[in-house]
Every structure is written in C-alpha cells, then in structure tokens.
A and B are shown apart, each in its own frame.
Chain A
Amino acid sequence: MIRLKGGRLYDPAQRIDGEVRDLFAHEGRIVAAPAPGMTIEREYDLSGRVVMAGAIDLHTHIGGGKVNIARAMLPEDHRYSAFSRTDLTRSGSGVAAPSTFATGYRYAEMGYTACFEPAMLPANARHAHMEMGDTPIVDKGGYAMLGNDDFLLRLMASGADQKLVNDYVAWTLHATQCIAIKVVNPGGISAFKFNARNLDVDEPSPHYRVTPRAILATLTRAVHELSIPHALHVHASNLGVPGNAATTLATIEAAAGLPIHLTHVQFHSYGTEGERKFSSAAASIAEAIDRHANVSADVGQIMFGQTVTASGDTMAQFRNARHAHPDKWMCMDIECDAGCGIVPFRYRDSNFVNALQWAIGLELFLRVKDPWRVFLTTDHPNGAPFTSYPHLIRLLMDKSFRDENLARIHPDAAAHSQLASLNREYSLYEIAIMTRAAPARSLGLADRGHLGIGGAADITVYRDDPDREKMFRVPEYVFKDGELVAQDGRIVNVVRGATHVVRPDFDRGIEKRLRDYFDRHHTVRFDNFPISADELVECGSRETLVHACARAAQ
C-alpha cells in the first residue's frame, strides 16, 4: 500500500475542489484509509502539491494505418527528434507523428493515463490495436468508424429496420474491440469514391441516395438504443469550409435531442463574414452547445508550428491538399469501408486564416459554459501535437498570457476575433473536469477519471506553479494502476496499458447476413474479420476492460 499524504485534491467527480486529503492505493486501486497496524510500503509527502486523477485524452490519433503512413511520409519529423533506448525504455522518434513508444512515454510523462484513438476503420482495426499494443503505459481504446461503409449505407438505402442497424453497430464494436462509434463526414468519404467533392447535410449521397442527416439520425439512435455510454462521436460534414457553422448546427439538429459528441468543433465553427469571407462563428456554436444538453464537444485547438493532419475524411483532405506543407500528401480509399488522407501542415500566426482558427478554438473553450461538455483536445496531431497541451492549459488559465499571445497573431485576425473581450480563466477544478472527470464519464469509464475509493489508482501529482504550462508539462509523480511510472518528466517504470471496450448485446442473427456479404464481396472472409479478446493480447494489450452499456446520469 502507498500513501499520498497531504496533497490538495481536485476531483470533480466527487465535487472535491482543492481539499487537502490523504489518498491510499493498494493493488492498483484507490482504497480507504487502512486500519491501524497495516503496513504502508511507501509514503509520498505531497504538501502543497496538486493531485488529480490521471488525465484522459478522448480524441487523439495515436495509432493505425493513417498514423503510420504519416510517420513513413515524414522522416523530417523524426530525424532530429530521435532518441536512444535506455535500460528501461525503447528508442523512438517523432513530434507530430511520434513512434508508438514515444507516444506512450510522452503522454505518461505529462500525467496522461488513457488515450482514445478516435478513427478506427473496422478494416484497419487489427493494425490500430497492434500499434496501441506497442504504445506503453497508457490505457487505450478505439472508436469504430461507421457511416461511410457500404454495408450500413446499403442497409439504409434498402429501408432496413433500425433494429438491424443496431445489431450491425453492436457487432462492429465486438468485432473491432472498440468502445464507441464514430462517424466521419457522414456519407462523404463514400461519396468521394463516386467522384463527389462535397456533400451537404441534406444532400442525397451518390449511389445510395441517403443523406448525411439520415446517417446521423440512424447512428445516434443506434448508439442510444444500445446504451453505449459515449454519444455518437461526430466529425461533421464540410470540415474547414468557410460557413460550415451552418452545417454544424444542422448536425446538432439531426441528432434530434439524442446524445451527440461534436469532435474538433473548432474546424466546424467558421462563418463567411468580412472581406476575406472567413470569420469566427464560435459564439453561435458555443451558444448552441450550451442550449442543447444532449451535445458535448472537444475543441481540436490549433497551435502554431509544423504538424501533420491525418484524417479519415478523404473528401476534406483532398480539398485541403493544396495547403500541404511540406508539399506532399496522400489519400486512400479503403475496403468499401472508409478512407484516409494525410496532409502535412504548418499553422502560421502570420496567416490570417490560421490565426483566426487559433482564436476560434480558444473562443469556444471560453464561451461554452459547462466544462463537463467541452473537452481539451488538439485533435492530435491535426491541430497540434499532444505535447502542446500544457501550453494550451496556460492559455485557458491565464488571461494575461493569452493576451500576450493574441498580440502576436495576424492583426486582422485578432481584430476579427472577440477573444480579447473574454475574461474567463479556467480554474484547476475546471481543468480537472475537462481532462479527467468529464471524458471518463462521457466514455462510461466508471473507475477512471476520479480519485474515489475503488477507482483505478491512475493519479497525477503536480507542483502548484503559477506558470501553469510548466506545472502541467512536468508533473512530479504519475501513477498508473498504483505504480509510479513517471517522476519529474522522466519514465521510471514501464507498464502495459489495458484496452477499454464495450460489448452491447445484440441478435447474432445479423452474422448470417454479414457472412454472406463478406464472403461474396470482400477480400477478407467473415471468419477472419473479427478480433477476439485473445488476439488483442497477441496485439500487445495487457487485458480487455469491458465497460457496462448503461447511460451514466448527467
């Protein structure tokens, strides 16, 4: 048993806001204070320290085919960042597209203990799990991508019963060992294969004549009726297109009051005002999120510098390829299932559009009132590498720091943004909500994201430094399942993470139909498509943690 003595706890799940308390951990769990006489093997004096649960990133592209293509395409991202092995850690490289080992170490050093890969194509799930198996320390989970796959669109085009869709959605979660369902540009990735270059929310898709609105409605309903904890994770249509705020509002409407999560909403909050026909619509999007209790969002903040965008949205990536920096890019159509596109990108503060994107992201953070419904992400690596989180936290917590940075961006962008007028500064309690308590609740991780008795002992201890960037960059201690894994920004112990999944009940009758479909049309047989729990261990996962399919009370 270990004792974390006298730290100041920020644990929003238990409404603890900076109370000094002792914590005890034993065999990977947080436990009650021991009876007198019980041995405490190790005691950490945490007086003056800030203690939170391990952070959870619910949207980060850490593994899978597209990430590996990004790595292969960008030796320049790896050449000057390569590091050697030690007796404890493996070698690696990369900033925007880090190697798997680098990803695990850097997340753990920053106090993160769980990461969720949000775009797992069912056809590529095996690959993603193998990469995540080589991503040490942190727990992982994946969101299975549906909504551009021929099977679902065909079902919808034939007017199939919702029940059949639900069975297919549930089967997909089992077969891919995922925890949630994601839709990327509903119908749009498929439409691109039919040579369409745009697909608006109410536009029938080529071939199937199904609209994105219908896809959204069908999938939100399936996720809801299967009681999958995480809402349908939506990368909306028209990513990056000026004026797409209207699309985002239509996407919220399409959910018809059922839970929906809007991901990297910064990229979907653009208006068309001003002489450049590009403006911030953050106010109207934030207002819509506030007004609709069924909606949550993560921001996908951009940061200035070199990164790479890796997305399933081939339609958007093809459209944005002309901005590639360095000038190389790729797109791929995949298995009548989905697609992927890689476009390296350098966001510049002297560029009006990039500067305004930066301001829009921050506006969204500061305008959405409920921190339980807005999560801290950069859509790693699409907005910026995840290693920029400490800087982002300081931008949110420190108005004067924010103003200094605002003064450096393209002056027209600064003038077009109302960022300067937003005085809000996030508190430590609110940061703990948006990086721990809220993502855990949203994903249905009952034993993560909090410091309550019985919870997993994933714990991060910070020095209370007024420079919040410094504070959040180098936690003093990071515990994963009760074991000290990082200290002062160095890995001190390498453990393997688990894989979080859900397994909703469904009628196995769907498998007959799927077997016929796969064996007739696909190039992988039905028998060889699903990933078993045993295979997941072969992929490198420590174990599978199955979470209940029951909606958490909000």
Chain B
Amino acid sequence: MGPGYVQYCDTPTTVARICVFEYRQKMPDFVHAQEFDNVPCPFCGLLCDDLRVAMTKGTATVVANGCAKSRAMFTANAGDAAIAMVDGNAVDLAVAVGRAAQILRAARAPLMISAGTDVAGMRVLLELAEQCGGSVDHANGDALFRNLPVLQNTGWISTTLTEVRNRADLLVVAGTGISGRFPRFFERCFGDFETLFDVGTRELWFLGDVPGDLPAVLRARTKSLALDPARLAEFFAALRALFAGRVLKEKNVAGVPIGNLFELLDRMRAARYGVLAWAAADLAFPHADFAIQSMCELVTALNAENRFCVLPLGGSDADLTAQQVTTWQTGFPVRVEFSSGAPAHGLVRRDEIDAMLFVSALDAARTPPPRNVPSVILGRAGMSANGCSVFIPVGVPGLNHAGHLYRSDNVVAIHLRKLAASALPSAAQALQRILDAVREPH
C-alpha cells in the first residue's frame, strides 16, 4: 500500500479521522476505503463507541475493538436487495407508504412495535400511534416489564457503567446471559486497565454458572454459586432475612447450602462499592419482578452500612430508547395506548388488535409476533417480507444515518454516526411519510 494521507473532517465537536488510501495500481477495481475511529456500535445495549470501522463500497467491516456481534451486524445484509413490497410484490416506496397509511387509517386498534429504532424513529412512531389511536410496545416489552413494576412500587439504588468500571470491587451477577447479550461488558468494566479508584482485588460472583465466554484478560477473581435463576426471589429473600439478623432453619436455600449464603452476604457487606447486576431479558420466568424486587430491597438495605447499587442491564434492540422517548412524550413508560385519545399505561387486549406496525432497523433477523392482522413492516434490508402486507426497507442507524440510542444503564445517550450514504429512508423518515399520508384528506 502506498502512503496514505489523513484528512480531518472537522465538525464542531467530532473530529472524525478519515484515512483515504491511495489507489493501488495492481487492483482490478480501485480500492477506496474509508476508516472511521471511535465509531459507536448500535447492535447491543452497551453501545461501545471505540470501534474502528472500514467502509468499502458500502460494506462496513469492523477492523478494531469489535466483538463477534458487532462484526457480524455491521457487515450483515450489505448486498441484500432493499425493495419495498406490497403483498409480496415489489413496488415504489410511495405505493408502499400509501398502502401502509390505508391499513392504519382503517384500523381501530393498531399495535405499533419497535424492535429497534432510534430516538427520531420513536418520536414519529408515538405520533403515529397517537394519530391512529394505537398502542405502543417494544419487542422486549416483557423484559422491560420485569424491572418497571419494581421502579414503580419501591424504586432502587442504581449505578452506571463508568462507575462500575472504576469503583466496583464486587459484582454479583444474577442470571447467566450477560456476556452473551453484552459481549464486551466484562472486558470494559473488569478488564485489564487502570481504575480511577483503588478497587483492591475485584471479585465477580455468578449466581449460576461462570460464563464460558469471559474475556481472556480479566482483572478479577470469579466465583459462582449454582442456582436456578427461577429461584432468585427465594434466594434473595433469604439473604435479606439473614441481613436483618433472622435465623433460618433451612440448610439449603434454592439449592444453595446456607453456608454459601453467609459467605456471599459477608462479602457483600464487606464491599466498598458493590454492584448487583442482571439482564431482565435473562429472567424469563413467571413473576420475575418479585425476584428483582427482592434483589433491590437487599441492595437498598445494604446501604445502611456500605455502598451497594443495582445495575439493571438492558438497551439492546433500542428497548430503553423506546422506553425513554415514550416516557417523556406521554408520561408513561412503554406499553402505552391511545384508544381514548389520551395516553394510558398498558396495552389494549390482544384480540382487539386489528393491524400491526413493526420496526426493526437494526436487526434483519427480528420477526414480528404472529398476529393474523394486516401488517406493515419497516426493516433493515434483508429482512423477510413473507406474509406481511407492506414491507419498507429502512436504513440502519449508526451506519446509514445519524441518530441517538440509550445505553444499557439507561442514562447515557450516544450519538450514532452516518458512515455511508444510503438510498433508503431512515425509519423516522419512512414513518413520517406514513403519518403524513394518514393525515392527508381522502
């Protein structure tokens, strides 16, 4: 490769370094690659923003700081056709928009689901639901509704990723899916780096198996207690009782020897800054909110002596983004319906739903829930349009257009970048066209 030159694109705040490599004479096609540094990745809740991504002829390749998920998702569907469809036939975008508007206008109780769209997309999705008297949900609504009742009934003491990275000397993980869902969580929070504060020897306690996919370099000791996640409520209720000084007659709680409970509780009490983390998506068992409530109550109680926080991890598929925007626009977190015109907390009954709109701009593999009603799908190129009335391909936020998403800790919003031009509309633009068409006099 010949000597490249570095060009600085200086927007007021971000200096995106774009390396434009010289043409290589021996290549049959000119190689014209652009590399971007510190690129935010929208494909899981962590929103890691240190990726290096190369763009070659519209195809993105993660060349540094990626994980398996980001590498696959940035590159996915690059060559896939992106054609609007109505009843399985290719049509112009305008025709698809018109048909979508017709379906929504005719519906009395349309259900609008985000399975991944940015703040701008959620803003229009909500306005469309309000216009049509619809309901708004997120595809991960069940998981969101494991945490929300706890926030609405008792609250919690929580923390965010930079605090965990620099301050936590103990992390207790309830459930086993964190590293699968958030591949770089342990690397970024407990990896090989200098912390701002003295964290001593860090410990990770897994309630369940130690994940097999922990990063090679981990500056923490790991321990585990074999435990069925469905018994977390029982387990934490016992820990709370022990913390309150009660005597338990049982020798085992949720299959864990009582001695191990004492050991864990002692460690939690000794923590300078302890964190109890879970991903609600992992806790897919009935009444998981009771388990979460029990965990939050123990953590709150621990703060009588030392500092301890919860870290409810979410954010994937832009679920926390949906929750945040819905909350500020309507006053209620997701699962909001507008059947009376005014926003109300909850969804209408499943059998009343007579049309569906489903948006998945991040992941072409997401599929809408089965409903025997006319459906409008806005999806990433490559998504199957089988069985839907209308399919509109949309750009990927963070790849084809800028946008905002909320991170796992539900506090930090990240500004996603546009890396490559796309002929496709953003979900927000497509939704706006549908909204305008719904409002057109007819």
Contact = CB atoms under 8 A, between A and B. Distances in A.
Interface of A: 63, 65, 67-69, 71-75, 77-79, 81-85, 90-94, 97-102, 123-124, 126-127, 130-131, 134, 150, 154, 174-175, 192-195, 207, 318, 327-337, 342, 519-525, 527-528, 530-535, 538-539
Interface in B328-359: 328-333, 338, 340-345
A84 B341 contact: yes
Contacts of A530: 13-14
A75 B344 CA distance: 9
A192 B303 CA distance: 11
B7 to A, nearest CB: 16
B156 to A, nearest CB: 6
Given A193-B273, A330-B151, A68 B324 contact: yes
A84 B163 contact: no
B158 interface: yes
Interface of B: 11-16, 37-38, 40, 49-50, 119-120, 123, 127, 130-131, 148, 151-163, 165-167, 188, 193-197, 272-273, 303, 306-307, 309, 323-324, 327-333, 338, 340-345, 402, 404, 406, 410-415
A335 B167 contact: no
B157 A100 contact: no
Nearest to A131: B328
9 contacts: A85-B341, A90-B130, A98-B331, A134-B329, A154-B196, A330-B155, A528-B415, A530-B14, A532-B13
Interface of B is mostly: mixed
A94 B342 CA distance: 12
A141 B15 CA distance: 26
B328 A335 contact: no
**Closest 10 pairs between A and B when the two form their complex, measured CB to CB:** A84-B341, A93-B331, A78-B331, A82-B342, A330-B155, A530-B13, A532-B13, A532-B12, A335-B162, A99-B331
B390 to A, nearest CB: 24
A534 B131 CA distance: 29
B52 to A, nearest CB: 12
A92 B330 contact: yes
B331 A102 contact: yes
B323 A72 contact: yes
Contacts of B195: 521
Nearest to B127: A90
A288 to B, nearest CB: 35
B323 A335 contact: no
A79 B11 CA distance: 44
Nearest to A87: B439
Given A342-B155, A527-B38, A528-B49, A134 B328 contact: yes
Contact of A523 (B14, B151, B152, B162): B162
Contacts of B50: 519, 525
A75 B342 contact: no
A528 B153 contact: no
A520 B194 contact: yes
A327 B307 CA distance: 21
Contacts of A335: 160-163, 411-412
Contacts of A82: 330-331, 342-344
